Amino acid sequence: MNRNQHRLLNDIQIADITSQVAYDLVKYKNETAEVLMDHYLRGDAEGLLAIISEWIEVAEDETIRQLNTDLMEDSFNDDSFSPSYDF
């Protein structure tokens, strides 16, 4: 069972995760092909679904990590923040 059974993703999140999956599949094309062939040759449909779910969840984690990093960096660039102490 994948994570999305427990919560919903909006269209922007789905697009971001899809882009990350596509990037990872291109970046790791040989490894991906080997895994796909291995599961295919063994007739392991259940294992194939599990590995695809894992790939998508890793891409989702990376997307969330990048979003959090971007939000944190943006908070440091907030000009409206003025501490009550002198530097």
User: Is the whole-model pTM more than 0.85?
Assistant: no
Number of helices and strands in the chain (H, E)? 3, 0
Answer for the pair 63, 13: CB distance below 8 angstroms, yes or no. yes
Nearest alpha carbon to residue 38 among 51, 20, 25: 51
> Where exactly are the structural domains of the chain?
10-72
The tens digit of pLDDT for each residue in 35-82 reads 999 999 999 999 999 999 999 998 888 888 888 887 776 666 666 655
How far is 4 from 42, CA to CA, in rounded Å? 27
The tens digit of pLDDT for each residue in 57-69 reads 988 888 888 888 8
